[in-house]
Amino acid sequence: MKFTTTTIAALVAVLPMANAWIFSTCSGQWDSHGNQGCTKSSCKTGDTIDWENTWGSDCVLRLYSDKSCDNQIGIADDDWNDHTLGKSKPKSAVDGRLISIKDNICTRDMPTTCASGILDKFKSPFNATVVDELENAGAIVAGKTNLDEFGMGSNSINSHFGAVQNPRRDGSGEDLSAGGSSGGSAASVAADQCYASLGTDTGGSVRLPAAYTGTVGFKPSYGMISRWGVVAYANSLDTVGILSKTTASVRDIFDLLNKHDQRDPTNLSIQSRSRINAYHQTPRFASRLTSAPLRIGVPIEYNVSELTPSVRRAWILSLAHLQKQGHTIHPVSLPATRHALSAYYILAPGEASSNLAKYDGVRYGTRAAGPDGDGKPDGYLYANTRGEGFGAEVKRRIVLGTFSLSADEIDNYFIKAQRVRRLVQHDFDSVFAAKHPLHVTASQHAQNDSVTHPDVDVLLCPTAPSSPPRLSDLTDPKKKSSLDAYVTDVFTVPASLAGLPAVSVPVTVAGQGDEAELAGIQVVGQYGDDELVMNVGEMLEGRTLEEAA
C-alpha cells in the first residue's frame, strides 16, 4: 500500500490511535558502512502497515511523520560520510549512529506512550536528559520502541499496541518472546535496525530482553544515569539501561551518560561520585581492571529447579572459560535470594500504584469518551478513563500495590518487603571484597584489611532460568498464568533491589548433534563497579563454549 495524505487521513478517522504516526519496516540489513544499522533502501517508510500489531514483527521502531525513518537514516548517512571522507571529526563514539529509545523515555518531537492506552496521544514538552546527551554527542534518535505497558512485564506482550516479536525464532520457526519490558529496544538492536538502544531496568527489564535476543544489556548502578524525563514505574528501583551488540559500544554510551544531572530526582551528588571513584581507585581495587586474576563468585542459591539444562550448561561452561583464563571460582551464599522475588513484587507495585495515580484523564492521560463517572451521580470522575486506559497487567499491579500499602496491610507486606530488601543488600555486601562505597568512611578507605579478605570481585549467574518462551504459549491462558512470567525475573531482581550494576552478555554453547544454544550470562558487581562488570562481561561476550571432550 502506498501512503498518501488521504490514506493517512482515512486511517486516522477510523483509528484514532494511529494519529499520524508512521511505522518503519526497516528490514535489518547492515549498510555498506558495516555498522550503522538500517539503510535507506532497506527502510521503506509506511510501506506495509499492520495496524493491529503496529509494533510487531518487522516494525520495531515507531516514528513520527516529520522524523521519518528515511530522514533519520539520511542524517546518519551524511554524518557518517563526512567522518569517513575526513570532512569532520566524529564528536563522540556515537556521532552519526542510530539509537532507538524505549517509549517510556520522553522525547519532545516524538510521542511518549509507555505502550499504554492512557498515554496514546501524549507528547512530552521536553526531552529526557539522556536523549539530549545522546543528541549533543551526535547520535540520531531512530525512533521509539515498544515495551510492556509502563514497563510492567517480562515478555513485552502487555502492550496496548501488540506484542514484540523476537527476531530469533525457535527450531520449528515459532515466534518467541523478546523478553521484557525493554523488548522492542532489544529487538531493534538484534535486528540490526539500530546501533544501540536505551531501555529502562526496574527488575531485569534490560537484561532479560538482552538474554532472549542475544544482545548485550547493561543496568548501571542505581543513580548513575539521569532519570529526568523517564516515566517512573518504581522510583527506588528504576535505572536507564543500555542495549547494544557489543560491550564496547555499551561502555561508550555509558561513559557519555554517566554524569551528574541537577534535574534528576535521584541524582548522585558530585561528592558521592568522587568518593566512589576514589574507593575503586585504591590499589587493591584498581588492579582488578588491569592484571590481577579475579575472584568470581557463584551464588549457590541460584541453582534453582526452574533452571533448564541448556542454561545450566552455559553457566558451567562460562565459569570454566574464566577459570582457564586464570581467574578463580568461589561458591558463595546469598540466603535472602529466595525471598527477593516476593519482596520485589510487593515493592514495585506499591511504588507503581502511587506513580500511576496521576493518570486520571485530568492531569495526564487520554480521557475516555462519554460522561464522567459512568454517568452515575456517585461515580468517580476518572473511573472510565482509568478503566479503559490501563491494560490488565497494569491494573493487577495497581490493585496489588494499593492493597499492600493500605493501612491494615502495610506492616504485613510493604514494611516486611523493605526488611527483605535490606537483607538482600546485606547478602551482597558480605560476599563482595569491595565494600559499598557510599557506606564506607574515609578512614576505611585507607585500611588494607581487604587485601586478605576472602570475598569475591563479581558474581556470575544466568540472566534468565530458561530460553525465550513461545509467544503462542504466553498468550494461551491454559498453558501459562500471568504469574508464571514473574519467576523469569528470579536472577535479575536481587541486583535491582540492591541497586548494583549488572550486565547480560550472550554466549553460545556448541551443539551436540542438534543446534547450538544461545543463553544470557549475567555479571553482577558491587555498587560503583560498573566498569569491572562490563570488563568481565566482555571476556564472555559472543563466546562459543564447548564441553571438554
Ligand X SMILES: *[C@@H]1O[C@H](CO)[C@@H](O)[C@H](O)[C@H]1NC(C)=O
Active site amino acids:
102, 181, 205
* Beta pairing partners, 175: 169
CA nearest neighbour of 83 among 138, 160, 22, 154: 138
- Least separation in angstroms between residue 108's CB and ligand X is 4
Report in angstroms how near the CB of residue 520 gets to ligand X at its nearest: 19
Residues that bind ligand X (CB under 6 A): 107-110, 127, 131, 135, 141, 262, 265, 267, 269, 300, 303, 446-448
11 vs 76, which CB is nearer to ligand X?
76
Phi-psi region of 506 (alpha: psi -120 to 50; beta: other; left: phi over 0): beta
Q: H or E element: which one contains 415?
A: helix 414-431
**Quick one: 308 or 482, whose CB is closer to ligand X?**
308
Residues 6+ apart with CB under 8 A from 71: none
- Closest distance to ligand X from the beta carbon of 280 (Å): 16
Least separation in angstroms between residue 230's CB and ligand X is 14
Nearest to 302 by CA among 316, 288, 289, 291: 316
Is 4 or 447 the residue whose CB approaches ligand X more closely? 447
Nearer to ligand X (CB atom), residue 110 or residue 314: 110
Query: Shortest approach of ligand X to residue 109 CB, angstroms?
Result: 3
Distance from first CA to last CA of the chain, Å, rounded? 56
Q: Which is nearer to ligand X, 446 or 548 (CB)?
A: 446
Q: 524 has which bridge partners?
A: 459, 502
DSSP reduced 3-state for 391: coil
Virtual torsion, Cα 482, 483, 485, 490, nearest 10 deg: 170
Residue nearest to ligand X (CB): 109
The residue length of the chain stands at 549
Residue number, 72 or 213, with CB nearest to ligand X: 72
- Smaller CB separation from ligand X, 9 or 286: 286
Number of H helices, E strands in the chain: 17, 15
- Which three cell numbers, joined as nine digits, stand for 423? 537483607
Mind giving me the DSSP string for 78-115?
HHHHHHHTTSS--SSTTTT-EEEEETTB--SSS---TT
> 156, 183 in Cβ contact below 8 A?
yes
Strand partners, 177: 165
What is the rounded distance in angstroms from the CA atom of residue 435 to the CA atom of residue 282? 12
State in angstroms the smallest separation of the CB of 300 from ligand X. Answer: 6
Nearest C-alpha neighbor of 54 from the set 97, 103, 92: 103
Please say which residue, 162 or 297, places its beta carbon nearer to ligand X.
297
CA dihedral 34, 36, 42, 47 (to 10 degrees): 170
What's the closest the beta carbon of residue 219 comes to ligand X, in angstroms? Answer: 21
Q: Report in angstroms how near the CB of residue 118 gets to ligand X at its nearest.
A: 21
Cell, residue 353: 500504584
Least Å distance, CB 172 to ligand X, is 27
- Amino acid residing at 96: G
Q: Where in 98-182 does DSSP place strands (E)?
A: 98-102, 140-145, 165-169, 175-177
| Cβ-based nearer residue to ligand X, 119 or 400 | 119
Give the integer Cα–Cα distance in Å for 105 and 150. Answer: 10
The DSSP secondary structure of 123-157, one letter per residue, reads: --SS--HHHHHHHHTT-EEEEEE--SGGG--SSS-
